[in-house]
Chain A
Amino acid sequence: MGWMRTWFTRERRYEDLSVSIGEHLAERVDELMAQGMPRAAAEMTARRAFGNVALIAERSREAWQWPAMESVWADVRYALRQLARSPGFTVTALLTLALAIGANTAIFSLMNAVLLRSLPVKDAARLVALKWDDQGSGDLDIWSSGYSDYEFSYPGFERMRSRTDVFKSLFGFASLGFKRGNVALTANGATTPATGTLVTGGFFDGLGVRAALGRLLSQGDEAPGAPRAAVISYDYWQESFGGSREAIGQTIALNGRPYTIVGVAGRGFSGMEPGQPDDVWIPVVDDAALRPWTSNPPPGKGMFTSHAWWWLTPMGRLREGVTPKQAEAALAAEFSAEVHEAASGKVAREPRLEVASGARGMAVPEMDYEKPARVLMGLVLLVLLAACANLATLLLARSGARGREIAVRIALGASRRRVTRQLLTESILLALAGGGLGVLVAMAGTRAFTALIGAGNDPLAIDLRLDGTVLAFTAAASMLTGILFGVAPAVRGTRVDVSTTLKDGAVSAVRQRFVLNKSLVVAQAAISTLLLVGAGLFIHSLQRLRTESMGFRPDHLLVFRLEPLQNGYTAEQLPALYDEVLARVAALPGVKSGTMVGLRLIDGWVNNFAVHVEGYTRPNGKDPNAMENSAGPRFLETTGIPLLAGRDIAGSDTHSSPRVAIVNQAFAKQYFGKRNPIGYHLSYKSMGGGIWYTGHSPSPPAVVSYTIVGVCGDARYESLRRAPQPTWYAAARQYNDLGQLRQMNFELRSDGNAAQLAEEVRGAVHDLDSRLLIDDMKTEEQQVEGTIAGDRMFAQLAAFFGALALLLAAVGLFGTLSYSVTRRTRELGIRMALGAERRVVLGMVMRQGMALVAAGIVLGLIAAALSGRLVASLLYGIRPLDAAAFVSAAAVLGAVAATAAWWPARRAAGIDPMQALRSE
């Protein structure tokens, strides 16, 4: 407990010390005076002999201190006093820092969630995924979907799993569909869309996930004939069962198939794909209602026996001491054998097997989000940099005003290093406090983000929690920020000439180069220009997207989707069901017309396959690929795509009438030139797969042929970004492959507010069959807006960051010019006394400010031009060197800067020469 005693007795020790030193000096003075020296001279001599009293006292006190800690603590207390003394500065600095660091924290949490965070499982870093690359040969004649390059056939997976000399464990999984809500889950009597994944028996064990309740799946559950067991996620358990233990043993249904809940996975684990959290896991099963990726198998191939159907994603852990490279070498032969079994013909180029990291699971969002996240991170880092420059200018101005205080401290014996450290302590303290506030800002910010991200049509569940990584980033960023904006002013601040400062007073004290202040203003102007150009680009791009003509009329359109296979229907029942649904909803009051469409417009999905166009041959003899969609009766009328020739799809186009199709103008132009396409035929080779609708013809035809009956205008199909392509619309009710009827969208044109139809539509469908789940009902305008949610978010964030940087630049310019005017009061007074007009002085100060801003604008524009290609892929319809964005950025900054410069300039012009000259 020695240190405690030390702590308590220290005050007394300090007192003793100052008594001792005081007496020492007094005695020396007495002695010198006894030798005949006058008191003043004696005191001077005594002090000179003794040395720097304050410094010696400090050194002496250090004997009692934990040297570093103590003086830091003293610095902190002093800094707090100083900051409290100028609340205006402190509040401004804290706000600036909180916004800048908060923005960085929020964006970093986004980066962390989509790019960095590992799966929340035991030792995630050691997870490996198997990946293959056919090196573009296309030799592999296989069926795959979903994570494709990461997928293997079941026999291929078993082959790999048998290599226990390489793997400690290997398990596999396959999602039940591409989107969230890929399976209809019936629990407690209610059916809702949920997200499910097929897993092999070793899944949970291999990942090291524990059960929160009950048991997890094991190898036995995978065996044929085993009772159907399901594990639900912790979140789903909380939501649907209120966390009740009663959940275990309950029967739920997945797409109508009964399963028994055997356990709840540990909290935090939500499956293998960040952004698409699973609600339920079931053992891999060969069941037409529960297909991996909802894809149909190749005809006649068993799910567990076929070498040609690659649907399972293996992942696992390598045996201790086996490196990924060694594993690749060890598995090469195995993989090659598998490939040769899968390939129907010769394999020209051997595909390569790769052992990749599985630490982040199947982080597919990475592909879509990596670039935007990086660009956003770049934008906020620029904001932080602008904030640093801004605070540095404020501190410089302040250190000018504090010149006297600093000079006094140095005169009293503080070393320059000590004062520098003191000043740095102030800025770091500010930055840390700003960082703390920034976390609060980030918490609000991430909520806003989640809302922005969730606004899309296919929202990702991104977990923007501020975890340890994020907080560590914030702490480091704050610390660095403090040093960055504090170091130059601190070093500059202590470079005062003590005697002049003390003699002349504060104002004329820091007669130093003004270069640092100026370059900081230039830097701020440059950064804001860069950010404003960015904002301009994203806003302009969004405008282009919004005003792009779509070729159809999205107003007054309501769209919804059915996927009846999930609700207990068989494929054969679908055509009649769809007819019935359409008849009912189209008859609702307020509905002008209704139609069905295989893929709803502007949803990011398209059909695209080779089609034979009668009378058209490509030089290489192959059929061209074209976009295809299936359309119900009154398709053109309902969607508002103009009919140019021929007729719309009609109610009379049924499975018992000849197949008909409509082509768009681009299609007609490309394949028929000046000829009239009506009456010509389109055909494609039947893939022979799927489920054949026997009502149409008793056996699958080798070639499916359609007669063109109409030509329509070009309309966007996949997205707003993609211009209309040559597209043909096949009559939906004449499809032969029922697999393609698995989902159907219904579009309704209302004569009033489309959104208000929603309840009636639900009622009508519910009346028909209460099991039928209506999926993703929204107006077509919401649908379109949803596809540009990302663009909108970008434009909003970029505009926000640009405005922030602009504000900072304006404050920085204002502060610097004000300080400069104060410094030059005397000079300006002399000029005016000598006859300079107020107008001239005003112009002089304005020119001084605007010259800096102009330099910044030029630098910013150059930087924007150079970095434009980094954002090119995120823009639509404009080039990164968009004149409008560049000009408006320069104009906005120029105007705001002129306003900021106006006040100090007017103050300068208002100087009273007499007063200015007398003031010193």
Chain B
Amino acid sequence: MAKTMERRDLFPGAMEMMILQSLRARPMHGYALVKHIQQVSDDLLQIEEGSLYPALQRMLREGLLDSEAGVSAKGRPTRIYRVTDKGLKHLETELSSFERMFAGITRVLAEARS
């Protein structure tokens, strides 16, 4: 019944980027974050709940996120996560490097196809 908890990311930093991007739109609590990513990606991406919380804690620790007490849609007490300035800056660098990498991959794939 034991499960392997560590499932590989798409690539290192992908989940982190998606969390930051989602929270940039608006601060959310954990469950909402999972739902948000699922919906925006048209169910293509599903965040493994098991890896969400360790990731959130890491990002809090690094100062990319901040959390505050709040209530969920159902009125239960929870914690709302928001992006800090440092988190925004981090997201920008990550995005630009991701875009460059993506462009590179696309070119290679296009050449291979032609």
Q: Which residues in A have some Cβ–Cβ distance to B below 8 Å? A: 6, 13, 16-17, 19-21, 23-24, 26-28, 30, 49-52, 55-57, 59-64, 415
Contacts and interface: CB of A to CB of B under 8 A. Distances in A.
A59 B74 CA distance: 27
B89 interface: no
A17 B79 CA distance: 8
B27 interface: no
A46 to B, nearest CB: 9
B106 interface: no
Given A19-B78, A23-B78, A52 B50 contact: yes
Nearest 8 interchain pairs by C-beta: A51-B50, A63-B57, A23-B78, A60-B57, A60-B53, A27-B31, A24-B31, A59-B54
A37 to B, nearest CB: 17
Contacts of A415: 2
B76 interface: yes
The interface size bin for chain B is 20 to 34
A56 B48 CA distance: 11
A179 B34 CA distance: 87
Interface string B78-101: 110000000000000000000000
A21 B60 contact: no
B5 A56 contact: yes
30 contacts: A13-B60, A17-B79, A19-B78, A19-B79, A20-B56, A20-B78, A21-B30, A23-B29, A23-B30, A24-B34, A24-B78, A26-B74, A26-B76, A27-B31, A27-B72, A27-B73, A49-B49, A50-B50, A51-B3, A51-B5, A52-B50, A55-B5, A56-B5, A56-B53, A57-B53, A60-B54, A60-B57, A61-B57, A63-B54, A63-B61
Nearest to B68: A16
B53 A23 contact: no
Nearest to A410: B2
Nearest to A413: B2
B12 interface: no
Contacts of A24: 29-31, 34, 49, 78
Contacts of A16: 67, 69, 79
Contacts of B26: none
A415 B74 CA distance: 35
A50 B76 CA distance: 19
Contacts of A61: 57
Contact of A56 (B29, B34, B50): B50
Given A52-B50, A55-B5, A60-B57, A23 B67 contact: no
Contacts of A64: 57, 61
A20 B76 contact: no
B107 interface: no
Given A13-B57, A28-B31, A56-B5, A19 B50 contact: no
Given A19-B77, A19-B78, A62-B54, 13 more contacts: A13-B60, A21-B30, A23-B77, A49-B49, A50-B49, A50-B50, A51-B49, A56-B49, A57-B53, A59-B53, A59-B54, A60-B56, A63-B60
A56 B49 CA distance: 9
A27 B76 contact: yes
A51 B54 CA distance: 13
A693 B47 CA distance: 111
A837 to B, nearest CB: 47
A21 B2 CA distance: 20
A49 to B, nearest CB: 6
B57 A17 contact: yes
A63 B54 CA distance: 7
Contacts of A6: 61
Nearest to A51: B50
Instruction: Pick from B5, B31, B73 the residue with the most CB of A within 10 Å.
Output: B31
Given A51-B3, A51-B5, A20 B54 contact: no
Interface in B38-76: 48-50, 53-54, 56-58, 60-61, 67, 69, 72-74, 76
A6 B62 CA distance: 11
B29 A20 contact: yes
Nearest to A26: B76
Nearest to B48: A51
B39 to A, nearest CB: 13
A409 to B, nearest CB: 13
B72 A23 contact: yes
A20 B67 CA distance: 10
Interface string B1-36: 011010000000000000000000000011100100
A23 B58 contact: no
B53 A21 contact: yes
A21 B3 CA distance: 19
Contacts of A23: 29-31, 72, 76-78
B50 A17 contact: no
A373 to B, nearest CB: 52
A24 B29 CA distance: 8
Nearest to A61: B57
Contact of B79 (A20, A27, A50, A60): A20
Nearest to B6: A59
Contacts of B50: 50-52, 56
Nearest to A415: B2
Contact of A20 (B2, B53, B58, B74): B53
A30 B75 CA distance: 12
Contacts of B54: 56, 59-60, 62-63
Contacts of B53: 17, 20-21, 56-57, 59-60
Instruction: Pick from A20, A28, A61, A64 the residue with the most CB of B within 10 Å.
Output: A20
A64 B63 CA distance: 12
Nearest to B57: A63
A63 B61 CA distance: 7
Nearest to A53: B50
Contacts of A60: 53-54, 56-57
A608 to B, nearest CB: 80
Contacts of B72: 23, 27
B58 A63 contact: yes
B74 A30 contact: yes
Contacts of B76: 23, 26-27
Nearest to B67: A16
A415 B56 CA distance: 23
A26 B57 CA distance: 20
A827 B50 CA distance: 46
A65 to B, nearest CB: 10
Contacts of A56: 5, 49-50, 53-54
A59 B3 CA distance: 14
A20 B2 CA distance: 23
A529 to B, nearest CB: 45
A52 B2 CA distance: 8
A52 B74 contact: no
Contacts of B61: 6, 63-64
Nearest to A21: B53
Nearest to A6: B61
Contacts of B58: 63
Nearest to A498: B1
A436 B2 CA distance: 40
A359 to B, nearest CB: 52
Contacts of B78: 19-20, 23-24
A60 B67 CA distance: 15
A206 B31 CA distance: 78
A22 to B, nearest CB: 8
A56 to B, nearest CB: 5
Nearest to B62: A63
A776 to B, nearest CB: 76
Nearest to B50: A51
A95 to B, nearest CB: 39
A685 B76 CA distance: 115
Given A16-B79, A57-B53, A60-B53, A52 B60 contact: no
Nearest to A30: B74
